[in-house]
C-alpha cells in the first residue's frame, strides 16, 4: 500500500482511484472495465439525441446537458488513464511535503495544517453522502415515470432499449455501474483538485512565515536563510506547474462546457411545469454552479497568497544584509509580481473574475435560446 494512499489530507479520495485501478495499478483489466461502460453509454446517448433531435426541444436540451456532463467525465477519465504515473508522483510529492511540515514545521503552520486536514476530511465525508444520495436518486428517478425510462436515455442499432430484457439489463447497468463511475469522476476528482489548491495555499503561507522569521544579525547566516526560502519558493512553483500540467485540460473543458451546461438547464427549466423535473433541474443548476465556484475560489486564493510572498520578502531585514542579500530580495519580489495562477487549458486564468464572466456568458446563451424558441 502506498504512503500517499493513507495521507489524511486526501482522505478517501485517492483511495477510490487506487481501488478502481486508475492509479497505482499494474494490470489493465480494472481500468479497461472502468472505461468500457461510460463509453458504451456515451455512444448510445449520442445515437438517441441524433434520432430524437426534432421531437421535443426541452427534452433534447436536458439530454444535451447530460451528454456534456458525460463528456467532462470522459475527459477526466482520459487524463487519469493517460497520466497515472504523473498523478502518482504528484501525490508522493505532496505526501513527503506534508510529513515534513508535520515533523519540522513552524508550530503555527503545523496547527494550520491540522485545521486544513480537518476541513478536507469533512469535505470527503460530504462527498460520500452526496455519492450515496446520487446513487439512490439515480435508482428512483426513472421509476417515478409512468412509462419505461432509463437514468440516461440511450438507443442502439438493432436493439430496442425499452423492451425486455434489454431494458432491465441497461437499467441495472446504469444504476449499479454507470452512476458510481460518474460520481467517482465528478466528486473525488474535484476534491483532489480542491485539496491540492488548498495545500498550495498552505505552503505559500509557510514560505511567508519562513521569510518573516529571518532575524539573524549575521549577514552570511541571513543570506543563507534567504536562499533557502528562494529554493522553497521554486519548489512551490514546480508543484503548481505539475498541478497545472495534470489538470489544465480538465479546467479547459470545465470552462468550455459549463456555459453550455448551465444554458441547457435554464432553457429546459423555462419549458417544463412538472414539479419533479423542476426540482431535478434546480438541483443540477445548484450543484454545477457550486462545484465551479469552489474550484475558482480556491484557485483565486492560491493566486492571491502567492502575491503575499513579495510583502513577506520585503519584511525581512534586508537593509542589514550585504549586497547579494539585497539583490536576492529584489529578485524574489520581482518574481512574485506575477501570481501563481491556475489556467484552464493554459489560456483562461482561474479567478473569480473569470467565474463571473462564465455566468454572464451562460445567461447570454440562455437568453438567445429563449428568444429563438419564442419566435
Contacts of 284 (CB under 8 A, 6+ apart): 65, 265
Question: What integer pLDDT is reported at residue 330 of this predicted model?
Answer: 92
Decide: 181 and 37 in contact? Cβ < 8 Å: yes
State which residues of the chain have pLDDT below 50: 1
Contacts of 169 (CB under 8 A, 6+ apart): none
Burial degree of 140 (CB within 10 A; 0-12, 13-18, 19+): exposed
Residue 56: φ, ψ to 5°: -145, 115
Question: What integer pLDDT is reported at residue 352 of this predicted model?
Answer: 87
> Could you tell me the pTM of the whole model?
0.87
Residue 159: φ, ψ to 5°: -135, 130
Spans of all domains in the chain: 4-374
Question: What integer pLDDT is reported at residue 311 of this predicted model?
Answer: 92
Question: What integer pLDDT is reported at residue 26 of this predicted model?
Answer: 65
Which H/E stretch holds residue 343?
Answer: strand 343-344
Q: Give the integer Cα–Cα distance in Å for 141 and 158.
A: 27
Question: What integer pLDDT is reported at residue 216 of this predicted model?
Answer: 76
Pull the grid cell for residue 292: 465551479
Amino acid at each position: 500500500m502506498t504512503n500517499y494512499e493513507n495521507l489524511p489530507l486526501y482522505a478517501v479520495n485517492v483511495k477510490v482511484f487506487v481501488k478502481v485501478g486508475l492509479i497505482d495499478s499494474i494490470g489493465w483489466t480494472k481500468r479497461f472495465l472502468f472505461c468500457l461502460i461510460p463509453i458504451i453509454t456515451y455512444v448510445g446517448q449520442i445515437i438517441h439525441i441524433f434520432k430524437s433531435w426534432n421531437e421535443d426541444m426541452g427534452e433534447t436540451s436536458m439530454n444535451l446537458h447530460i451528454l456534456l456532463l458525460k463528456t467532462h467525465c470522459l475527459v477526466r477519465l482520459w487524463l487519469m488513464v493517460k497520466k497515472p504515473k504523473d498523478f502518482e508522483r504528484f501525490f508522493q510529492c505532496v505526501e513527503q511535503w506534508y510529513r515534513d511540515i508535520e515533523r519540522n514545521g513552524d508550530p503555527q503552520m503545523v496547527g494550520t495544517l491540522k485545521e486544513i486536514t480537518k476541513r478536507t476530511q469533512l469535505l470527503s465525508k460530504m462527498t460520500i453522502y452526496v455519492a450515496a444520495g446520487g446513487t439512490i436518486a439515480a435508482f428512483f428517478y426513472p421509476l417515478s415515470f409512468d412509462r419505461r425510462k432509463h437514468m440516461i436515455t440511450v438507443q442502439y442499432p438493432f436493439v430496442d432499449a425499452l423492451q425486455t430484457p434489454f431494458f432491465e439489463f441497461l437499467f441495472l447497468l446504469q444504476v449499479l455501474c454507470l452512476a458510481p463511475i460518474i460520481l467517482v469522476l465528478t466528486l473525488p476528482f474535484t476534491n483532489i483538485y480542491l485539496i491540492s489548491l488548498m495545500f498550495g495555499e498552505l505552503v505559500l503561507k509557510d514560505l511567508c512565515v519562513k521569510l518573516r522569521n529571518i532575524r539573524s544579525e549575521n549577514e552570511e547566516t541571513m543570506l543563507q536563510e534567504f536562499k533557502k526560502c528562494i529554493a522553497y519558493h521554486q519548489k512551490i512553483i514546480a508543484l503548481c506547474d505539475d498541478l497545472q500540467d495534470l489538470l489544465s485540460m480538465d479546467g479547459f473543458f470545465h470552462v468550455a462546457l459549463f456555459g453550455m451546461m448551465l444554458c441547457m438547464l435554464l432553457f429546459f427549466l423555462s419549458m417544463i411545469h412538472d414539479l419533479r423535473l423542476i426540482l431535478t433541474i434546480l438541483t443540477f443548476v445548484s450543484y454545477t454552479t457550486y462545484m465551479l465556484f469552489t474550484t475558482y475560489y480556491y484557485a483565486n486564493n492560491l493566486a492571491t497568497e502567492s502575491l503575499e510572498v513579495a510583502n513577506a520578502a520585503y519584511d525581512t531585514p534586508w537593509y542589514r544584509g550585504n549586497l547579494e542579500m539585497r539583490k536576492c530580495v529584489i529578485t524574489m519580489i520581482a518574481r512574485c509580481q506575477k501570481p501563481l495562477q491556475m489556467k484552464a487549458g493554459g489560456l483562461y486564468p482561474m479567478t473569480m473574475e473569470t467565474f463571473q464572466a462564465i455566468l454572464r456568458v451562460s445567461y447570454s446563451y440562455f437568453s438567445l435560446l429563449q428568444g429563438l424558441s419564442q419566435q
